Amino acid sequence: MPPAGIPPSRVLPSKESGLFKEVLHYYEDRQLKKGLKTADTILKKFPNHGETLCMKGLILTHMGRREEGLELVKQGIRYDLTSHICWHVFGLIQKGQKNYEEALKSYTQALKFDKDNINILRDAAHLQTQLRHYDALVETRHTLLRLRPQLRQNWIALAVAYTLIGNLTEAKHVLEQFERIVKNVPDYDVEMSEVLLYHVRILEDLGEHNEALALLDTSAKSRMIVDRVAIVEHRARILSQLGKPEAQEAWQGLLEQNPDCYDYYKGFLSNRGIDLDAVTDENRAQALEILQGFSEQFRRAAAPRRIALTIATGDTFKDLFEPYLRSRLAKGIPSVFTDLKALYRDPSKRETIESVAHALLDSLAHAPDAPCPSSIDPTMYIWTLYFLAQHHSHLGRHDRALALLDTALAHTPTLPELYMFRGRVLKRAGDPYGAARWIDQARLLDLQDRFLNARCGKYRLRAGLIEEAGEVFGLFTKKDAPSPAQDLEDMQSLLYLTEEADAQLRIGNYAMALKKYVAIQKVFDDFEDDQFDFHGYSVRKFTINIYLNMLKWEDTLRSHPAYVHAAISASRILVQLHDNPSLATKAASESHLSEAEKKAKKKAKKAEKKVQEETKKAGGNSTNEDKGLEASPPKDDDPDGMKLLQSPEPLERAAKLLKPLSLLAKNNVEAWIAIYDVAVRRKKYLQALQALNQAHRLDAVSPELHIRVVDFKRRWSSLSDSEKPSETVAHVVASSLPSLLPDEVSLEQFNAQYLQRHSARGDAVLAAAKASRALGAPREEVEAAVFNALNADVVLELETAVAIHAFLSEIQSPREDEFRAACKEKFPLSSLFAPRSELPALRKSAVQKEIAEANEEKEEVVS
Amino acid sequence: MNIRLARVEDLPGMQACNLQNLPENYTMKYYLYHALTWPQLSYVAEEDGKIVGYILAKMEEDVSDGDEPHGHVTSISVLRSYRRLGLAKRLMIQSQEAMATVYKAAYVSLHVRKSNRAALGLYRDTLGFTVKDIEKGYYADGEDAYAMRLSLKDLAR
């Protein structure tokens, strides 16, 4: 008679019951063929035995027959809804699919029927952590500790759970108890060391600095904590907090260990009452004296000397700067400029830098045709020219930069840095083709260097030479990958994916652009999934402090600039798709794969065929190979991105992409503009208004914001009464909108006022023109408006000129060529305003095979 | 130029640096594995928030019986525009000290391409590594590697 509560269909007679135990053992040992066979034996007699069906399904999943397996598992559950084995199996499979929410539900069900099952509890704990269900996690960890108090990790895991819900006091108690009862800790145990460091951190976070120090010192003395750097760092920090004199010694010790660490200088100075980020006139001299002492003590370290430059002012700055610059230029260090760039925020320092550098150059200059006189150090000469080129280009003086570089190149034609920077200057000046050519020349000087290769690829992408970029990247990607692009995507190269996506967008290939932006989204999804295994691993390894840091990082993962940019750019495409659905069908008719893509497609097809043939030969069942619970990544079935482009509900997809940004990119105006564009089209007027307010808070005069404010009022006013959302919404809009756009001002007036106030800004001129057009102004009027951007008193950035040109093209203006020609005059170095007919030649000139050929071809094009 | 212990939030920057400089690349999980197993051993060189150089290091897991514990440099590189600053050397020294102090590593090992003269110079001439072995076809593209080693006996405290 089976115990109460157990369905009769679960109980097996002794023979089959024994067989079932065998199935479980076979599964544990991953003897999949035997497990399958045994399961089938049971099922022959008992085809509806839920638990066996589930186990068979699990085994099939491990053998790669995932769809079959999942079906069986679902069947099995239906036959035995109260079996913890069935729910556990279901949870395992869902976990393998990374469907963590559902997996946790299954595990919770399983626990209802076997509440002290350690395996299930442990898995549930991992899922709870992943999903940030920290309250439930605490309970689960309590249960596990109760069941196995002799297992050290269970204590630590409970402390971690308390830390995660913010109950540091309880976490502390758990650790104290653990430390009291733990036995047989070997000498020099790294794991125990990490536990103690975790304990110290908790005490610090609780503000119990004296206790933290006591624990730290005792453990350091008994050599229970073995991480010397961590000990001294904690000590220095705590002693500073407590205002103890020994703090100075601690910071000093840290600096002796690593004199290149800025945090240590900060700490030392802070201990003396000097805030490195906010030095006052009163303590400036003292700070400089201290840094001078360190400069003498640590002769090889640049940090104290560089920090002094940040703090010093006036003549003191000049006196410190000159030898600093000299020594670094003499050494031939390429990064002098980037090192000093932060100082440029201070106009007087900028001037000093320029005058000192030019004085230096004057002392080194010699006749270009004569050989370098022996009194002059050629290295210093070249790098001074290079430095000044970077200096002038940074300040927008591109012509001057080019002249300096050309002098340097004549002197030393084999230095890749000179070619690289010349390319960069051209890029800034708006000549992406010239830029790509020069970077290519740099690359050819050292074909072994991947850095030069990567730059070349990037610059080709910027010039719209997408296939050529792939060729270059392919010199360093894995040969057995389907394509260079695929390898870079597999290796999660955010730089590559961003540049390629942007390049595709620039040439109007929305499908491929969207595909690459979505690939970036997937990289971040993968980063999020990566943490899962560490929920168990880090507790076993006892590396708790960094584990907690990792969880924090994961929580703000999508604040990464690559994600923010991808989300904003993708949402723009999706909004355009919504506004103009014919874009998708138009793209389909024009879609063609590039040569590289066709090659990749062929290669992938070949590889897939090979795999199919091999599996046919091997046969489905005849292998014991454990494919695990995670499905292998799906093959790319959308090589030209058309499927993605034509997917339904573009606005919903855009909203999903943008969702993290309202929290993680809340100081980014572009993000709020993107959020607005999606929200207003989804008729979420409050969300749209909130986005406008946030953008306004950050930059009240933003041109893009202006366009949207006009857009919102226009949309809102044109809503009929039946279309208007609830009274509450209407009320909020009515009270909030006037702060952005006063009620009594008409939209035309508002636009005119904005233009008047900001007529010296090219981007504002464009924004007002766009708003005008949206309000129905005639095309001639709009055209005339943007042409004002060319006036001498208007600050017109290259980017804005390009945008205006694109706008004129969009409204099919007959004055487009006129504008283009005017821009050509205004930006003489730029190739972005060349007539379309010149494009093929420009593209060709950007890709050179040999430097010799390059010189030849340059002469051809010019003549 | 700030040289400090690698933090979890530095890992994407290290990955980007690695992809720009070297053909041997890793997915994020591998970086996380290093940081969360040996949090004391990886260092970064950082300028204004950007990772311009790194060392990704570990303790060797497969230690045969009788073999002493030893550290291993999985990957080290510095962006080209930040070379000649001695960053690689400084990163290596910090990591080595930690290997010796925390894990009592007897020596540290690494692999370098036979053709990589610059790296060879750094390891052998500047840092004192010696060539222990030639591992044929070590790299994915078939190139041989020098397996190099440096004793840490005089670093241990």
Averaged pLDDT for residues A809-837: 93
- Residue from A194, A201, A450, A479 to probe the interface with B (highest B Cβ count within 10 Å): A450
Q: How confident is the model at residue A852 (pLDDT cuts 50, 70, 90)?
A: very low
Averaged pLDDT for residues A212-240: 95
DSSP string, A740-771: TS-TTS-HHHHHHHHHHHTTTBHHHHHHHHHH
Instruction: Retrieve residue A51's tokens.
Output: 């638990």
Q: Which residue type occupies A624?
A: N
Helix (H, G, I), strand (E, B) or coil at A346: coil
Identify which of A190, A339, A452 has the shortest CB distance to residue B1. A339
Contact A179, A156 (CB under 8 A): no
Identify which of A226, A260, A450 has the shortest CB distance to residue B23. A450
Average pLDDT, chain A: 91
Backbone torsions φ then ψ of A471, nearest 5 degrees: -60, -45
Q: How confident is the model at residue A374 (pLDDT cuts 50, 70, 90)?
A: confident
Residue-wise pLDDT tens digits, B41-92: 999 999 999 999 999 999 999 888 888 999 999 999 999 999 889 999 999 9
* B chain contacts of residue A531, beta-carbon cutoff 8 Å: 32
Q: Do B104 and A188 touch (CB under 8 A)?
A: yes
In this model, does residue A488 exceed pLDDT 90? yes
Averaged pLDDT for residues A69-91: 93
Averaged pLDDT for residues B9-28: 96
Q: How confident is the model at residue A624 (pLDDT cuts 50, 70, 90)?
A: confident
The pLDDT value recorded for residue A505 is: 96
Q: Do B1 and A479 touch (CB under 8 A)?
A: no
Average pLDDT, chain B: 93
Identify which of B39, B85, B98 has the shortest CB distance to residue A546. B39
What percent of chain B has pLDDT above 90?
76
The pLDDT value recorded for residue A375 is: 75
Residue-wise pLDDT tens digits, A418-448: 999 999 999 999 999 999 999 999 999 999 8
Q: Give all strands of the β-sheet with B130-135 in edge-to-edge order.
A: B2-5, B43-47, B50-59, B70-78, B107-113, B145-151, B130-135
Contact A803, A743 (CB under 8 A): no
Q: How near does any CA of chain B get to the CA of A749, in Å?
A: 45
Averaged pLDDT for residues A386-411: 96
Q: What is the CA radius of gyration of chain A?
A: 33
Q: Do A258 and B115 touch (CB under 8 A)?
A: no
Tell me how crowded residue A525 is: count the other CB atoms within 10 A of its CB.
13
Rounded CA separation A11/A3 (Å): 10
Q: How confident is the model at residue A588 (pLDDT cuts 50, 70, 90)?
A: low
A742 CB contacts (<8 Å, ≥6 apart)? A750
In this model, does residue A21 exceed pLDDT 60? yes
Q: Which of A378-392, A447-461, A632-646, B16-30 has the lowest mean pLDDT?
A: A632-646
In this model, does residue A853 exceed pLDDT 60? no
B 77-136 residues inside an 8 A Cβ radius of A:
79-86, 90, 94, 97-98, 101-104, 115
Residue-wise pLDDT tens digits, A328-339: 999 999 999 999
Structure-model confidence comparison of residues B141 and B3, the more confident one:
B3
Q: Which of A142-151, A621-630, B123-132 has the lowest mean pLDDT?
A: A621-630
The pLDDT value recorded for residue A627 is: 81
In this model, does residue A605 exceed pLDDT 80? no
C-alpha closest to that of B45 among A30, A488, A36, A258: A258
Averaged pLDDT for residues A296-318: 95
- Tally A–B CB contacts below 8 A: 133
In this model, does residue A256 exceed pLDDT 70? yes
Nearest-Cα residue of chain A relative to residue B94: A258
Averaged pLDDT for residues B110-123: 88
Contact B1, A260 (CB under 8 A): yes
Q: How far is CA A155 from CA A120, A134, A535, A825, in A?
A: 18, 16, 14, 73
* B chain contacts of residue A565, beta-carbon cutoff 8 Å: none
**Half-sphere exposure (Cβ direction) of A376: Cα atoms closer than 13 Å:** 17
Q: Which of A11-20, A97-106, A354-363, A741-750 has the lowest mean pLDDT?
A: A11-20
Averaged pLDDT for residues A523-539: 97
The pLDDT value recorded for residue A594 is: 61
In this model, does residue A449 exceed pLDDT 60? yes
Backbone torsions φ then ψ of A648, nearest 5 degrees: -75, 170
Helix (H, G, I), strand (E, B) or coil at A554: helix
Give the total residue count for chain B. 157
Q: How confident is the model at residue B102 (pLDDT cuts 50, 70, 90)?
A: very high
Q: How confident is the model at residue A373 (pLDDT cuts 50, 70, 90)?
A: confident
Q: How near does any CA of chain B get to the CA of A531, in Å?
A: 8
Q: How confident is the model at residue A589 (pLDDT cuts 50, 70, 90)?
A: low
Instruction: Retrieve residue A634's tokens.
Output: 């799906």
Averaged pLDDT for residues A635-643: 83
In this model, does residue A523 exceed pLDDT 60? yes
Residue-wise pLDDT tens digits, A185-201: 888 899 999 999 999 99
The pLDDT value recorded for residue A862 is: 39
Nearest-Cα residue of chain B relative to residue A259: B3
**CA angle A566-A567-A568, nearest 5°?**
95
The pLDDT value recorded for residue B154 is: 79
Helix (H, G, I), strand (E, B) or coil at A466: helix
The pLDDT value recorded for residue A111 is: 95
Q: Do B16 and A495 touch (CB under 8 A)?
A: yes
Q: How confident is the model at residue A376 (pLDDT cuts 50, 70, 90)?
A: confident
* B chain contacts of residue A227, beta-carbon cutoff 8 Å: 40, 98, 101-102
In this model, does residue A769 exceed pLDDT 70? yes
Q: What is the ipTM of this complex?
A: 0.96
HEC profile of B61-110: CCCCCCCCCEEEEEEEEECHHHCCCCHHHHHHHHHHHHHHHHHCCCEEEE
The pLDDT value recorded for residue A858 is: 47
The pLDDT value recorded for residue A791 is: 94
What percent of chain A has pLDDT above 90?
81
* Residues facing residue B147 across a β-bridge: B111, B133
Alpha helix (H) ranges present in A699-838? Answer: 703-717, 727-736, 747-757, 762-774, 779-787, 798-810, 816-826
In this model, does residue A670 exceed pLDDT 60? yes
Instruction: Retrieve residue A831's tokens.
Output: 């190739």
Identify which of A229, A478, A541 has the shortest CB distance to residue B40. A229
Across B28-55, b (16+ Cβ under 10 Å) vs e yields bbbbbbbbbbbbbbbbbbbbeeebbbbb
The pLDDT value recorded for residue A420 is: 97
* Residues facing residue B47 across a β-bridge: B50
The pLDDT value recorded for residue A626 is: 82
